[in-house]
Amino acid sequence: MVQVVKVKAQSRKEQGSKASKKLRKTGLVPCVVYGHKESAISLSASHAELIKIVKHGVRLVDLETDGKVEKALIRDVQWDFLGNDVIHVDFSRVSADEKIHITVSLELKGTAPGLLSGGVLDMPMHSIHIECLVLNIPDVIRVNVSELQVGGVIHVKELVAPEGVKFLADEDAVVVHIVSAKAEVASTVPPELGAATEPEVIKKPKPVAEEEE
Amino acid sequence: MALMPKRVKFRKSQRGKIKGNAHRGNTVSYGEYGLQSMDSGWLSAQAIEAGRITASHAIHGEGKLFIRVFPNKSITSIPAETRMGKGKGEPEYWAAVVKSGMILYEIGGLPEAIAKDALSKVAYKMPFRCRLVSRRPSIG
């Protein structure tokens, strides 16, 4: 069951990077709420409160803006260049009985026997796009790898979807596979360039000399 | 042999300035744990290779190592006791331009303790301050 947290926000008039920087210095984060064919409203919310809920993986919030409470989904989060602080949050208005498209992280469950026999686990897909009801958003999608041998592959079509969840990713996309360690070592070692100590310089082709009449 | 481009348009490049912070290549994208640079500078191909060897020794052939930087800039130098002038020196080594916040290495498919231990050993080989970061949960 999805966790719903109450977030207090205030509407703001000042917009733009300069005003946002000033806002951040006061311990607030610029936010925006949009959706449901209503106008987008610029908001500001407490940084401490927002970073806490974002780091806890909360997706759905009860957004209290100037006395009005509405359900909103955290649609996008912008981080600073080091990934320490939240610098902007997008909220999307949703209703409880609405179907939404959302990305959910994948989590491996169990120990693959292929790893014990010298395989290397490769996970090309770390999150998956799903369709579900707002109140049915799963925290993570668990991928059972306890029967995965060397050379074994788990595709999207082999995943077990929680109740009310539909996967939108390509059915044949690889979620996780185990490759043999020898093949892995060969791919990570940089190719030997032989005796070449300098790269080839791309030269312009010489223009063909026109025959003088 | 250390990494370098296969083909280049020009053998020598100007030094350039490293301004600002990394706004691309600053998230863990392929593995689960990464090594993030906290300063900016040139990361030589030799240092990248040293980091790769250290990481692969530490993970004992398990898991997957991703190198997120590539040395695409040639760094020239002139021999010692050379008189002024006579043009730009010859390419000495290749380096990657690293801005603060960039992810240099990533490790996937390993438990947190082993991955962090491997990356902390790699951090000793880097010419600038680094820190360990983990993948952020996907939102949106």
| 3-state DSSP assignment of residue A188 | helix
Cα–Cα dist B59/B79, whole Å: 40
| 3-state DSSP assignment of residue A157 | helix
Closest CA to A75 of A110, A46, A40, A47: A40
Pair A125, B108: CB distance under 8 Å = no
**Chain B residue at shortest CA distance from A102:** B140
User: Which among A59, A81, A115 is the nearest to B21, CB-wise?
Assistant: A81
Closest CA to A130 of B103, B64, B140, B137: B140
Cα–Cα dist A197/A181, whole Å: 30
Q: Which two structure tokens, joined as six digits, stand for A38?
A: 């209503």
Handedness of CA B116, A149, A122, A179 (dihedral sign): positive
Touching A: B residues 93-122, CB under 8 Å: 100-101, 108-109
Domain layout of chain A by residue ranges: 4-94, 100-189
A153-200 per-position pLDDT tens digit: 999 999 988 888 999 999 999 999 888 876 666 555 555 544 457 889
Residues facing B73 on adjacent strands: B95
- The answer to whether the Cβ–Cβ distance between B7 and A200 falls below 8 Å is yes
pLDDT number for residue A187: 58
Cα–Cα dist B32/B113, whole Å: 12
A75-120 per-position pLDDT tens digit: 999 999 999 999 999 999 999 888 999 999 998 888 888 888 888 8
Least Cα separation, residue A211 to chain B (angstroms): 30
Please state the pTM of the whole predicted model.
0.88
- The answer to whether the Cβ–Cβ distance between B7 and A202 falls below 8 Å is yes
Residue with tokens 């292929």, as numbered in its chain: A114
- A199 vs B: CB within 8 A: yes
Residue with tokens 């959910």, as numbered in its chain: A104
Percent residues over pLDDT 90 in chain A: 50
Within 8 A by CB and 6+ apart from B115, the residues are B31, B32, B33, B59, B63, B107
What is the fold of A4-94?
A: Ribosomal Protein L25; Chain P (2.40.240)
Mean per-residue pLDDT of chain B: 93
B27-79 per-position pLDDT tens digit: 999 999 999 999 999 999 999 999 999 999 998 878 889 999 999 999 999 99
3-state secondary structure B32-99: CEEEEECCCEEEEHHHHHHHHHHHHHHCCCCCEEEECCCCCEEEEECCCCCCCCCCCCEEEEEEEEEC
Task: Determine the CATH number of domain A100-189.
Answer: 2.170.120.20
Closest CA to B139 of A170, A167, A44, A58: A58
Q: Would the ipTM clear 0.95, i.e. be above it?
A: no
- A193 vs B: CB within 8 A: yes
- B140 vs A: CB within 8 A: yes
